[in-house]
Structure 1
Amino acid sequence: MDDRPPLVTTVLLAAQHMLAALGGIIAVPLVLGAVLKLPADQIVALVNAALLGSGVVTIIQCKGVGPVGIRLPCVMGTSFGFVGAAITIGFEHGVPGILGCSLAGSVIMIVGSFFMPQIRKLFPHTVTAVVVTMIGLSLIPVAIDWAAGGKGSPAYGAPVNLGIALFVLVLVIGLVQFGRGIISAAAVVIGMSIGYAGCMAFGLVDFSSVRQAAVFALPQPLHYGMTFPISGIFAMSLAYVVTIVETTGTFMALGTATNTKMRGKLLCRGVLCDGVGSAFTSILGSPAVSTFAQNVGVISLTGVASRHVVALTGVFLALAGLFPVLGALVVTIPQPVLGGAGLMMFAMILAAGVQMLAKVEHNKRNGLIIAVSLGCGLAVTGRPELLSKLPAIVNEIFGSGITTGAIVAVVLNLVLPGRETEASDDEAEEEVPQPMLVKHLGAA
């Protein structure tokens, strides 16, 4: 995680993470702008602030500033976990209400971060394995929609879209399996670049967004102003509570990908950065941020876990916020190209979860936890309309398959006899007796 590859290698690997995250970062402000029918200039300002804020918080999360930042390869971005609450607030109080409630609600995440050692105990191996698996299962439909041409597109599932996605997928597999050094490590960005070049050759790339984008744009903190409606603060606070669960699961998956023991203190620093970062982006004029799960797939696929590489990704995102034309250029990448690479990346997270499940002790109790929690998570993921007739608060809590699977797994682990627990940080440090440790060091 502390490796510093050569500059050219670092740039390629950082660009890889940026390509995986950029679509998700700009999607949230675009959705909010479309639903709330904001003027074009306000939507552009939201997108720029989201990119700049995500970039700055990514750097802090990777590098750390005092007690803030997990110091692992995390990419931060605007989260769809806040969209439901933001739209509800926006209809009545506009963008100032969304930003004010995001700022006030971030206190929940900041305070909650100090209880992460206790929350960590709710995630023993069985529960963690379920959450990591559910992250992979929830992300794969996203990649499928990309590969088919984009959800809602009139060309959804067109043979040309599927053919492009399949070409990129096969290319990435070949580069990872048979490439050496930087070729294998940068398989995603190389595969997407070749796919993008092929789409350009056949006239499938639309550059209209690049022509319309401004070359340079300064951030405008508090440009919209802020209001703090009580009902909106409650809704946003609930979204932050749900996000703590999702972020914990993402950090668990990241721990698996980077061979890092996710102790409570480490989680505390990471969740604190999510909270402080969301407060910062709210002031900047962007929706709240959280740790992106899709970039864990990049790490799992390439084996590159350098936090310095991902910190450079943060620099790229910040530049895209200051120079909108750069972000607009990346947005021209056809969705099938993203889908071919995304399917491989997200499937790697699923594979990691399956490997963790294979190490779970096989008994009736664990089988129940795994089966019921995955079933409930998949029910919400595959049929989101399942909750459409229930109160809004239920949708807010259980609208995400990752959150649903995690909550069900935690509850079942607590209520079923023979509870599995996670060792405390102090106990975990004592797992290897000192004589045995000396013996291993001597052998090494």
Structure 2
Amino acid sequence: MNKLLYQVDDRPPLPTTILLAAQHMLAALGGIIAVPLVIGAVLKLPADQVVALVNASLMGSGVITIIQCKGLGPLGIRLPCVMGTGFSFVGAALAIGHEHGVAGILGSTLAGSVIMIVGSFFMPQIRKLFPHTVTAVVVTMIGLSLIPVAVDWAAGGKGAADYADPVNLGIALFVLVTVVGVVQFGKGIVSAAAVVIGVAAGYLVCLAMGLVDFGPVQKAATFALPQPLQYGMTFPPSGIFAMGVAYMVAIVETTGTLMALGSATNTKVGGRQLCRGVLGDGVGSACVAMLGGPPVSTFAQNVGLVSLTGVASRHVVALTGAFLLLAGLFPVLGAIVVTIPQVVLGGACLMMFAMILAAGAQMLASVEHSKRNGLIIAVSLGCGLAVSARPELLARMPAIVHEIFGSGISTGAIVASVLNLMLPGREKEALEDESNDGEAVQAATPHPVLEKKARAV
């Protein structure tokens, strides 16, 4: 059990809540705006359209974050879950955009979200494919896949002219040491706000060295209302198919992330909880598409923040959603956060992502030592790392293969699940898993929509 400063349903004092919510926003904002920026750059969209994509992503992520944390009828897992635009959709979005433009991306996003919405009805069955051994592999792969991202940020940004410059590495190391020191020696709220303190210290150093670019603040509008359907929508069959495959991969990745979040918050996540979470992802993506933004998914980096700080309050993260919504309505607010240099975020995120990896290692250590489990862990981690470290392995494969196995997380999860089904001894392990954590009872609980209808009858 993780020692938590604030439990899932705790409500910290308002000043504390604001500080901790801002910390989650810092962890998520870079990832949220990165996807629309990549889409805009690759498709060579006009600057005003890129800004509109960013604003829609922020607003949509904020609203769905609030719903996931607070719950809305059958929607929302009611855990500290931060939503954001998912990189698992980028490949499909770019392929669609090159041929059908932004209208094709949004139409395919809306139509493809049906896959995730329908898939949520089957989460009790999907949950059975994730016994403890498989879950441990997925959580470990999430950490292993995120750490290279933090390393690139710490080095100055992938492809940057000053990549791995000693100055960049020195600032990132300073932030990392600051975060570690505050977590280790700080008490109460000081320890819980370690990431904010570390980022603030790194930001001041960069400010003193003249490394902060205030250009985004000068260019950003003060206020901007959403413009739903401003691009229109088209529904190309090929685009819907590609996005549908991406949604199926997202279901696997979201399942792993939500179960990792359950582990970090000391919450048992069974079939019913996964129903709510995945349904929130699917409906959220459909809503964001109507606003004019790319699909959203559950962010794994904030799981590491929960593990690092011990703050598991869903009410704190709900306020993060409100901050994201405001950043979409007032782009200048988001632009201020964007001025934080990547090297500063890299130093802080390296610690957070490593916490996810550490959680996965702890889960692997608790797996029963047997030849069967050893094979599942070794082969699935090996395959996941293979495509993460050498993505060019899939360069000559059909597009659908690249879409499904392009992520080390999805590759590791799929391989682990298949091996768990194929190798002898699965029934025994499943029974042990059910008796250990009682999740079989939860997995048998009907989908929240069906449960509500049943009560009505």
TM-score per shorter chain, which class? over 0.9
1:121·1:423 contact (CA, 8 Å) conserved in 2?
A: no
Name the SS of the counterpart of 1:114 in structure 2: helix
Deviations 1:218-274 (A, max 9, x none): 000111110001111011001000000000000111011001111100000000000
2:272·2:442 contact (CA, 8 Å) conserved in 1?
A: no
Report the equivalent of 1:401.
408
2:270·2:440 contact (CA, 8 Å) conserved in 1?
A: no
Determine which of 65, 70, 78 is the counterpart of 2:72: 65
Rounded Cα–Cα distance in structure 2 between residues aligned with 1:344 and 1:57: 26
Rounded Cα–Cα distance in structure 2 between residues aligned with 1:76 and 1:343: 20
Deviations 1:81-108 (A, max 9, x none): 1111111111111000000000000001
Rounded Cα–Cα distance in structure 1 between residues aligned with 2:89 and 2:60: 16
Report the equivalent of 1:82.
89
Rounded Cα–Cα distance in structure 2 between residues aligned with 1:99 and 1:288: 9
Rounded Cα–Cα distance in structure 2 between residues aligned with 1:137 and 1:127: 15
Report the equivalent of 1:312.
319
Report the equivalent of 2:24.
17
Letter in 2 for 1:263: G
Report the equivalent of 2:356.
349
Shift of 1:429: 6.8
Letter in 1 for 2:434: A
Rounded Cα–Cα distance in structure 2 between residues aligned with 1:336 and 1:361: 40
Shift of 1:197: 1.1
Name the SS of the counterpart of 2:84 in structure 1: strand
Matched, 1:143 2:143: no
Shift of 1:117: 0.4
Matched, 1:114 2:133: no
Letter in 2 for 1:132: V
Matched, 1:95 2:102: yes
Rounded Cα–Cα distance in structure 2 between residues aligned with 1:223 and 1:95: 10
Scaled by the length of structure 1, the TM-score of the pair is 0.96
Letter in 2 for 1:104: A
Letter in 1 for 2:49: Q
Report the equivalent of 2:454.
none
Rounded Cα–Cα distance in structure 2 between residues aligned with 1:333 and 1:382: 28
Determine which of 263, 275, 278 is the counterpart of 1:268: 275
2:89·2:246 contact (CA, 8 Å) conserved in 1?
A: yes
Report the equivalent of 1:190.
197
2:268·2:439 contact (CA, 8 Å) conserved in 1?
A: no
Report the equivalent of 1:44.
51
Rounded Cα–Cα distance in structure 2 between residues aligned with 1:379 and 1:409: 14
Determine which of 38, 41, 44 is the counterpart of 1:31: 38
Shift of 1:194: 1.1
Deviations 1:4-53 (A, max 9, x none): 11111111100111011101000000000011110110000000000010
2:270·2:439 contact (CA, 8 Å) conserved in 1?
A: no
Deviations 1:319-365 (A, max 9, x none): 00000011111011011100110010000000000000001010111
Determine which of 317, 320, 330 is the counterpart of 1:323: 330
Superposition CA RMSD, Å:
1.2
Report the equivalent of 1:423.
434
Matched, 1:365 2:372: yes
Shift of 1:423: 3.0
2:23·2:196 contact (CA, 8 Å) conserved in 1?
A: yes
Unaligned stretches of 5+ residues in structure 1? 431-444
Name the SS of the counterpart of 2:172 in structure 1: helix
Rounded Cα–Cα distance in structure 2 between residues aligned with 1:284 and 1:81: 20
Name the SS of the counterpart of 1:423 in structure 2: helix
Name the SS of the counterpart of 1:290 in structure 2: strand
- 1:325–1:426 distance in 2 versus 1, CA, 3 Å: closer
Rounded Cα–Cα distance in structure 1 between residues aligned with 2:393 and 2:342: 28
Percent sequence identity over matched residues?
A: 80
Shift of 1:309: 0.2
Rounded Cα–Cα distance in structure 1 between residues aligned with 2:300 and 2:368: 26
Shift of 1:62: 0.4
Rounded Cα–Cα distance in structure 2 between residues aligned with 1:423 and 1:115: 18
Rounded Cα–Cα distance in structure 2 between residues aligned with 1:166 and 1:60: 36
Scaled by the length of structure 2, the TM-score of the pair is 0.93
Determine which of 189, 204, 223 is the counterpart of 1:216: 223
Shift of 1:141: 0.3
Rounded Cα–Cα distance in structure 2 between residues aligned with 1:79 and 1:33: 15
Rounded Cα–Cα distance in structure 2 between residues aligned with 1:426 and 1:286: 36
Rounded Cα–Cα distance in structure 1 between residues aligned with 2:96 and 2:195: 38
Rounded Cα–Cα distance in structure 1 between residues aligned with 2:344 and 2:309: 18
Report the equivalent of 2:310.
303
Unaligned stretches of 5+ residues in structure 2? 1-7, 444-457
Determine which of 215, 230, 237 is the counterpart of 2:237: 230
Name the SS of the counterpart of 2:287 in structure 1: helix
Shift of 1:427: 4.5
Matched, 1:53 2:42: no
Determine which of 6, 11, 29 is the counterpart of 2:13: 6
Letter in 2 for 1:423: E
Rounded Cα–Cα distance in structure 1 between residues aligned with 2:112 and 2:299: 20
Deviations 1:286-341 (A, max 9, x none): 00000000000000000000000000000000000000011111011011100110
